[in-house]
Structure 1
Amino acid sequence: MSTKAEPVPGRRAKRFAPAGGGRARQDLLAAAAFLGPFIILALIFQYGPLLLMVKDSFYDYTLITPDLKTFVGFDNFVRIFTDQGTVKSLIITLLLSVGVVILTIPLAFLLAMFLNGKLPARGFVRTMVFLPVITSSVVVATLWTFLLNANGLINSALGSVGISQQPFLTSGTQALPAIIVLTVWQQLGMATVLYLGGLQSLPSELMEAATIDGASPRQRFRYITIPLMSRTTVLVVVVITVFALQSFAPAYIMTGGAPNGTTNTLVYLIYQTAFTLQQPGYASAISLLLLVIALAISLVQMRLLRTRWDY
């Protein structure tokens, strides 16, 4: 006698789906709905132009006649290292980046230590420190042009104390330092906020234990705060370096690359090469070189400043 159950007429056997399968599909659809527009925009306005730039770097043409392209291979890249103007702009950009990083890191760290303490109107002070970061670079460069020109506020203040007028924007030895100071002033708030976030995430137990063991404030700063802030320092150095490598508005508005090309940064050279000299292929090659330099410097900095501290 068979014990196999007979199916009931008119009923369908139930199929059991894996638990959570429907929820996983819903999460996938939700993620695609949120990320889809961003991915599409990134492909159109970021990665698409990047691929087009790589392609154009192997051609010679003008913006007036873009259809008349001539394939030149690696000639544009060879020209980068044989053209004295381009090499000079590369050196100037690297000097600008080094100067900005050297000045910004200690100033931002000390300012973050100050803002991390108890002070009145702390929120307002933090806002004022961060305000230059969100201000347009064009506005900042225009403001500093009024401050540093021959009849500007700074020269007027120097004249009131008996100091002769300084050619901040027309001197071959003062123009680049002036742009470095401007860049530090604008990016100091970003570095300070990053350091402030790192300071506020430090474990208070270590500080309390060090205080109980008799460590002085200087010892706690040197042996606890600085080592634990190494990861934040890596982030700040990389971010500030990338911003400095992209400097354009100060050279364009304040000096025009003058005097004698001492403020002709790579990004400003790319602009001149593409739109003034009508050589977009060569400008694309310089842009690709700048991208490689930024990636290489970031990787080297992360490697050199890598720390074993974790918290």
Structure 2
Amino acid sequence: MKQKNAIMGMAFFGPALILLTLFLFLPLLLTLGFSFTDYFALNPDLTHFVGLENYFEIFKDELFVAAFFNTVKFVIIIVPLQCGGALLLALAINKAAHCKKYFKVAFFIPVVMSLAVVSTLWIQIYSPEGILNTLLSNFGIDAQAFIYSSNQALPSIATMSVWQGVGYQMIIFLGGLQNINPALYEAAEMDHATQWQKFRDITLPELKPLCVFVFITVTIGAFRMLVQPMVMTGGGPDHSTYTIVYDIYETGTVNWEMGLASTMAIVFTIFVVVLTIIQNVLTKDKEERHVNKKTTRP
């Protein structure tokens, strides 16, 4: 019986393992290997082992450093706006007495739309004659350059990204809010707690694992930004929207420097792994307390 179950398990798991090996594990190993070489895709026969030279070179590259800081700026803008906006929307919809399904669908529609389509749409919105500048002119505000200005391009793309992605995190928070035991709020009302006290002492502690999860996923997603600057600005103006992933893409597929691009990809992967470890550390205590409460409950 055990042997039959093992064969059945491998029958289901085997194809997935093969696909993961071919499209994830093997490319990751190849990328790691290429990162220690000067592999040039147009002339692979002249590949040499260079050790850690690529790793030193990318941090001396002014364009890579600029791309790194641009990405950090983007993350700093988008993470609080998207996480906070998603929580506020979830709280508002959870309190709404009518049309909850309508609001869920309305805010979630941009999530399922292609980023390329959304970016193209917002190019029109940000254009000098676009709807946004038209609205600003009605309030006596001069037309803004938005994505055509090196100072405004990155915040403009971040604003668009928040609009596009906030619905996904809203659904996650909404699910967490609906799973909070109503008895906790009833007990707080008996103690004459204010709305802020209930939010601070009940809602936030109960949503802590979700908050950490959303924070990490939004941060990782922000560091992977590629489509928005590629479609909207091409990394400009003056490389003000040039990001790490954009640099990896151009280095590997435009300049064909696969060794250098692999090094950038490995550095980016290490950063993602570090973020995942941070997530596990932050959520570990909360999960252990939750398990202990369940085991001690009569």
TM-score (norm: length of structure 1): 0.87
Give the number of aligned pairs. 289
The match for 2:23 is 45
- Aligned residue number for residue 139 of structure 1: 117
CA shift for structure 1 position 302: 4.7
Deviations 1:83-142 (A, max 9, x none): 111111111111111211111111111111112234323222212211222211111111
Structure 2 match to 1:128: 106
Cα contact 1:234–1:305 (8 A) shared by 2: yes
CA distance in 2, matches of 1:67, 1:45: 24
- Preserved contact between residue 231 and residue 307 of structure 1 (Cα < 8 Å): no
CA distance in structure 1 between the partners assigned to 2:252 and 2:70 by the alignment: 20
Aligned twin of 1:283: 261
- Residue 95 of structure 2 aligns to a residue whose secondary structure is coil
CA contact (8 A) 2:213 2:279 kept: no
- Counterparts of residues 241-256 of structure 1 (less than 5 Å): 241-256=219-234
1:294 to 2:277 alignment: no
Aligned pair 1:33/2:19, yes or no?
no
Paired residue secondary structure (1:58): coil
Cα distance in 2, alignment partners of residues 260 and 301 from structure 1: 35
Say which of 179, 183, 203 aligns to 2:161: 183
Q: Which amino acid aligns with 2:191?
A: D
Write the distance in 1 (CA, Å) between the matches of 2:172 and 2:9.
Answer: 29
- 5+ long unaligned stretches in structure 2: 294-298
Give the Å deviation of 1:46.
Answer: 1.1
The offset of 1:306, in angstroms, is: 5.9
Between the aligned residues of both structures, percent identity stands at: 34
Greater share of residues in helix? 2
2:200 is matched with which residue: 216, 222, 240? 222
Segments of structure 1 that go 5 or more residues without pairing to the other structure are: 1-21
Q: 2:241 matched to 1:263?
A: yes
Q: Deviations over 1:195-248 (max 9, x none)?
A: 111111112221222222222222111111111111110110011111111100
Residue 206, structure 1, aligned to residue 179, structure 2: no
Contact kept in structure 2, 1:252 and 1:268, CA below 8 Å: yes
Secondary structure of the structure 2 residue equivalent to 1:67: helix
Q: Aligned partners of 2:262, 2:42: CA distance in 1, in Å?
A: 16
Aligned partner of 2:63 among 70, 82, 85:
85
Change over 3 Å in CA distance of 1:307–1:148 after alignment to 2: farther
- What is the DSSP-based 3-state SS (H/G/I as helix, E as strand, rest coil) of the residue aligned with 2:44? coil
Corresponding position: 1:106 with 2:106: no
What residue in structure 1 maps to residue 296 of structure 2? none
